[in-house]
């Protein structure tokens, strides 16, 4: 990825360097994932992480790769990860380092051992004030305060997709030259799509509105392009990437016993919300714009509806009981 290919990064050499370091993580992980079955990185570490999930060896490999690549970069004063209870602080880089990075180092962990798509998600924020070294609390910021966000997609090809607030751009890794080359410029998401992405195994745990919305999507109606097709990969990044290009909606809604849903606000919802909004889409809790949610703690969860603006608005109306019964 050259700076010429990233006109929106001309203003900030540091931000360009930070995204190039994310690209380096992408190249290293793509190499490991392509050989995963040969280099003994399948299976679990036996540990349970702060999310209460069994840690996959590849979760650990991905987390360590981000830490190693950014440790020596001098670009960060703090790094928080979905895999780590506490963030890593870099006081040695303070105050010249302007950025703090939040990551989901490997998204879709249930796919690691069966060669299904995987991703990594990143969000970049700046310290609230410049007069003191940031603390853990300074990392919990509203999505609207991000200065960069995006993801790595490890699918048939490896991609880096990001925004710094001037639209959404995509780069594809050319393994032949080991470089990310621009493949998608100023991506725009259609107002409505033809697919919905949800774990319907949870259907009976969902609140009424979410159930009614998915029922509505299955009813045949040519005028509104229904029924929509179900597409769920187990990897949020892969499902959102499809929706970013073709339209549609991904939903992991509130459940009666888990009103906060499953997905992590700071590591998953905020960065993907900004990418999708920058492409003309929307991201909501069902009640509120994701990017306006005031974070209370680092590993906070949030219900997520994300995708085409028209589809997310429809889903919100059902969830808010404004369209009873479909």
E-strand ranges in the chain read 44-48, 54-56, 76-81, 88-89, 99-107, 118-125, 148-154, 158-163, 168-174, 179-184, 195-197, 229-230, 249-252, 282-284, 304-307
* 199 makes contact with ligand AFP (CB under 6 A): yes
* 157 makes contact with ligand AFP (CB under 6 A): no
Among 110, 157, 166, 288, binds ligand AFP (CB under 6 A): 110
C-alpha distances out from residue 277 to 24, 247, 307, 309, 325, Å: 26, 13, 9, 9, 29
Q: Is the CB of 53 or the CB of 317 nearer to ligand AFP?
A: 53
For 277-292, letters b (16+ CB in 10 Å) and e give bbbbbbbbbbeebbbe
Tell me the C-alpha distance between 148 and 141, whole Å: 13
Q: Is the CB of 97 or the CB of 263 nearer to ligand AFP?
A: 263
* Both structure tokens of 60: 């650990």
Q: How far is the CB of 255 from ligand AFP (least distance, A)?
A: 10
Q: What is the DSSP letter of 63?
A: H
Q: How far is the CB of 177 from ligand AFP (least distance, A)?
A: 30
* 271 makes contact with ligand AFP (CB under 6 A): no
Among 23, 105, 108, 190, binds ligand AFP (CB under 6 A): 108
Among 63, 65, 93, 109, binds ligand AFP (CB under 6 A): 109
The window from 69-77, 146-154, 181-189, 260-268 that contacts ligand AFP (CB under 6 A) reads 260-268
Tell me the C-alpha distance between 271 and 141, whole Å: 11
* Both structure tokens of 53: 């999930």
The window from 71-79, 158-166, 174-182, 233-241 that contacts ligand AFP (CB under 6 A) reads 233-241
Q: How far is the CB of 5 from ligand AFP (least distance, A)?
A: 28
3-state class (DSSP) for residue 69: helix
Q: Is the CB of 160 or the CB of 243 nearer to ligand AFP?
A: 243
* 107 makes contact with ligand AFP (CB under 6 A): yes
* 123 makes contact with ligand AFP (CB under 6 A): no
* Both structure tokens of 120: 């990594």
Site string for ligand AFP, 36-55 (x = CB under 6 A): -----------------x--
Among 76, 101, 153, 235, binds ligand AFP (CB under 6 A): 235
Residue ranges of the alpha helices (H) in the chain? Answer: 13-34, 57-71, 208-217, 236-246, 270-278, 309-319
Q: How far is the CB of 134 from ligand AFP (least distance, A)?
A: 26
Binding site for ligand AFP (CB under 6 A): 53, 107-110, 199, 234-236, 262-263, 268
């Amino acid at each position: 990825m050259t700076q010429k290919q990233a006109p929106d990064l001309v203003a900030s050499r540091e931000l360009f360097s930070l995204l190039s370091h994310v690209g380096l993580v992408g190249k290293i992980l793509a190499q490991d994932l392509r050989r995963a079955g040969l280099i003994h990185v399948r299976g679990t570490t036996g540990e349970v992480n702060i999310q209460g999930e069994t840690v996959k060896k590849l979760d650990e490999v991905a987390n360590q790769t981000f830490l190693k690549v950014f440790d020596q970069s001098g670009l960060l004063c703090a790094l928080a990860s979905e895999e780590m209870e506490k963030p890593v602080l870099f006081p040695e880089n303070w105050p010249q380092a302007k950025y703090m990075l939040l990551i989901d180092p490997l998204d879709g962990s249930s796919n690691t051992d069966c060669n299904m798509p995987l991703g990594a998600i990143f969000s970049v924020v700046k310290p609230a004030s410049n007069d003191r070294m940031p603390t853990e609390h300074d990392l919990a910021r509203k999505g609207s305060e991000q200065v960069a966000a995006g993801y790595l997609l490890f699918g048939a090809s490896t991609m880096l997709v990001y925004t710094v607030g001037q639209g959404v751009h995509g780069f594809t890794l050319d393994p032949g030259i080991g470089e990310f080359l621009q493949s998608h410029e100023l991506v725009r998401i259609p107002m409505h799509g033809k697919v919905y992405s949800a774990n319907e195994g949870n259907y009976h745990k969902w609140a009424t509105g979410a159930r009614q919305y998915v029922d509505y999507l299955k009813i045949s109606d040519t005028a509104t392009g229904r029924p929509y097709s179900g597409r769920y990969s187990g990897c949020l990044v892969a499902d959102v990437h499809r929706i970013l290009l073709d339209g549609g909606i991904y939903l992991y809604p509130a459940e009666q016993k888990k009103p906060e849903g499953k997905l992590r606000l700071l590591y998953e919802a905020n960065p993907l919300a900004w990418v999708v909004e920058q492409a003309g889409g929307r991201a909501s809790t069902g009640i509120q714009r994701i990017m306006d949610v005031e974070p209370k703690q680092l590993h906070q969860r949030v219900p997520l509806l994300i995708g085409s603006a028209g589809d997310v608005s429809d889903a919100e109306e059902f969830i808010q009981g404004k369209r009873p019964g479909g």
